[in-house]
Amino acid sequence: MPETWTPIHAEVPDVASYAEDRASFTWDRARAELAGLPGGRGLNIAHEAVDRHVDEGRGEVVALRCIGLDGAVTDVSYAQLRDLTGRFAQVLTDLGVQRGERVASLLGRQPEQYVAALGTLKRGAVFCPLFSSFGPEPVRDRLRLGSARVLVTTANLYRRRLAHLRDELPDLQVVLVTGGVEDPATEDLDALLAAACPDYVIPDTDPEDPALLHFTSGTTGKPKGAVHVHQAVVAHHATSTYALDLHRGDVFWCTADPGWVTGTSYGIIAPLTHGATLLSYAGEFDAKAWYRTLAEQHVQVWYTAPTALRMLMRYGEELPQGYDLSALRHVASVGEALNPEVVVWGEKALGLPVHDNWWQTETGAIMISNHRGMEIRPGSMGRPVPGVDAAVLVRGRDGRADVASGAARVAEVGETGELALRPGFPSMFRGYLDDPERTAKCFGAGWYLSGDLARVDGDGYVWFVGRADDVIKSAGHLIGPFEVETAFMEHPAVVEAGVIGKPDPVAGEVVKAFVTLRTGFEPTEDLRRELVAFGRKRLGGLAPKEIAFDQHLPHTSSGKVMRRLLKARELGLPEGDVSTLEGAAS
């Protein structure tokens, strides 16, 4: 990160200052902005996102605008969404799905994704989104770890990703497919919805009832399932006000895939709690199509990823001038550190700076942001949102915050340490599913330890430095090296693998695998191509973009592959200089 910066002022009229917002904010006040279930029966995310607006006379407002691959636009009003989600909740009830049981989705940006998510929450079951580009093994592993009772998907995705692995998932009792049934082991969701009663009454919901299960990859071992509760909606609603400047009636576009936490927290829940119109675009990235969508749909708030913005930068500042982007009021970015150049580019090309922000799957909502109307320092993640206390803690020898003594020293201004948060905000995960030991490691001395390295300047702006571990951030997605390594070692030619994130100007990092071959195999180009294809088939979107042969992978004394050393070699850095490596990663 640069040590110098040029301030950019985001001028928004009639907006309270950051200091005033922090001073006046309480989570109780934020909770009071939501309706709660009628009769004081608790707090349910789906009620706040859908039914509340119908009850208050806004049923005809467009809740969801879906743009399909063919360009066709489908509008779903809040009243229609209430009926569809009620039908889905009734389908789950008729199938015997109990409160607290997990319902997974493997879908793209299509109406059924939103219906499944909100209908599951209405039922009181736990919604678990899966990335539709996952390969078969990642899908199987997450369904198995989550003990998913029901999966909602398409016939095509079921055939390609899961049909041959169904016997390995004894807990998965029902697969609901939309768009036509091909396999007798699945059921027709469309027919079930048509037959179900829409007048579903949401059961009493305690704010601490489990609501969401988001899987996030670690650097070693199996994926972790972070459990969030219905009370998280308080943070979704409040943070989207402060960090995204989102209000009732806005047209909002979040480009994150709904299979990830951003695509659920801010791609489904937050905008709907505000009574906004949520734009869902099914197409892949295309610069002209994206600009056209922003213009034609009069998007006012746009939440996207640094990767997408860097790709748009390649087309220059002239292309967006051909589109009427006058409706656009606020642009924000999430998923990885935002390059200072992108913030400046946004000011020139879009007439608006890009507001970076930071949060994690475990925090469930935005924790640090460039506040609406706040002076932006390009390269900084901003400052903690109202209601969140953050600090940078001094690290011990292992690179993590030193909390072993029961206390942790807050780093000095400009000193790099581990970014930590005070627990107590509504969206904090309640633990990793069935893994209390892993959960406990995230906390110490009264802090939640993020594993991210950062520093704070004299005005309280937080600057991202890198990860304290090896997790790879590629195009906004978190990829665990161990998961990729394990898959490659199933290939008959591979005896061992080491996986790192290689810096990339567009995706942030791309996955690169170093493989050691078994005796009898030669490092040929044909084998390299075979391994690339093997990775894509087994891992889908997690697969490495590059593969190198290495018969002498570096190991620790306990036999673990030293990924940090591999990365140092890849970057041409001194192998023992960890601080240099961390700086390069930023």
Tell me, what CATH number does 47's domain have?
A: 3.40.50.12780
Answer yes or no: are the C-beta atoms of 343 and 321 closer than 8 Å: no
Residue 456 domain flag: no
Last residue of a domain, one of 307, 331, 358: 358
Residue 148 domain flag: yes
For strands 508-517 and 494-504, give the pairing.
Answer: antiparallel
Structure tokens at 82: 């209430």
Angstrom distance (rounded) from CA 238 to CA 25: 10
Angstrom distance (rounded) from CA 399 to CA 585: 15
Both 348 and 481 in one domain: the answer is: no
Residue 513's identity, in one-letter code, is: A
Provide the β-strand partners of residue 456: 462
Residue 427 domain flag: no
- Please report which helix (H) or strand (E) contains residue 74, including its range: strand 73-77
Q: What is the pLDDT along the chain (586 residues), one digit of tens a residue?
A: 334 445 554 444 334 588 889 999 999 999 999 999 999 999 999 999 999 999 999 999 999 999 999 999 999 999 999 999 999 999 999 999 999 999 999 999 999 999 999 999 999 999 999 999 899 999 999 999 999 999 999 999 999 999 999 999 999 999 999 999 999 999 999 999 999 999 999 999 999 999 999 998 644 457 899 999 999 999 999 999 999 999 999 999 999 999 999 999 999 999 999 999 999 999 989 999 999 999 999 999 999 998 889 889 888 899 999 999 999 999 999 887 787 888 989 999 999 999 999 999 999 999 999 988 788 998 899 999 999 999 999 977 666 787 776 678 899 999 988 999 999 999 999 999 999 999 999 999 999 999 988 999 999 999 988 777 767 878 877 677 777 887 888 899 998 889 999 988 888 889 999 999 988 999 999 999 999 999 999 898 889 999 999 998 887 544 567 888 898 888 887 654 433 333 222 2
- Which sign does the torsion angle of CA 225, 231, 236, 239 carry? negative
Angstrom distance (rounded) from CA 528 to CA 354: 40
Residue 386 domain flag: no
Last residue of a domain, one of 330, 358, 386: 358
Who's near 33: CB < 8 A, 6+ residues apart?
Answer: 237, 238
Both 349 and 479 in one domain: the answer is: no
Residue 313 domain flag: yes
Look at the chain and report how many structural domains it folds into.
2
Answer yes or no: are the C-beta atoms of 212 and 126 closer than 8 Å: yes
Answer yes or no: are the C-beta atoms of 429 and 361 closer than 8 Å: yes
- Which sign does the torsion angle of CA 519, 520, 525, 530 carry? negative
Residue 376's identity, in one-letter code, is: I
Q: What is the DSSP string of 329-361?
A: -EEEE-SSPPPHHHHHHHHHHTSS-EEEEE--T
Both 478 and 337 in one domain: the answer is: no
Who's near 73: CB < 8 A, 6+ residues apart?
Answer: 65, 66, 67
Answer yes or no: are the C-beta atoms of 417 and 446 closer than 8 Å: no
Locate tokens 């319902």: which residue? 103
Locate tokens 């109990």: which residue? 98
Answer yes or no: are the C-beta atoms of 1 and 379 closer than 8 Å: yes
Q: How many CA atoms does the CB half-sphere of 524 hold within 13 Å?
A: 7
Residue 223 domain flag: yes
Q: How far is CA 476 from CA 81, 114, 187, 508, 510, in A?
A: 29, 21, 33, 8, 11
Q: How far is CA 569 from CA 566, 572, 573, 574, in A?
A: 5, 5, 6, 8
Both 492 and 353 in one domain: the answer is: no
CATH number, domain with residue 514: 3.30.300.30
Q: Work out the number of other CB atoms within 10 angstroms of the CB of residue 586.
A: 16
Q: Choose among 246, 262, 375: nearest CA to 301.
A: 246
Both 171 and 305 in one domain: the answer is: yes
Angstrom distance (rounded) from CA 447 to CA 423: 6
Answer yes or no: are the C-beta atoms of 491 and 466 closer than 8 Å: no
Last residue of a domain, one of 342, 358, 374: 358
pTM of the model: 0.84
Q: Alpha helices of 227-305 — where are they, by DSSP H? A: 232-242, 261-264, 270-273, 287-296
Both 352 and 477 in one domain: the answer is: no
Residue 85 domain flag: yes
Give the domain range for residue 13: 8-358
Angstrom distance (rounded) from CA 453 to CA 462: 10
Provide the β-strand partners of residue 277: 251
Residue 125 domain flag: yes
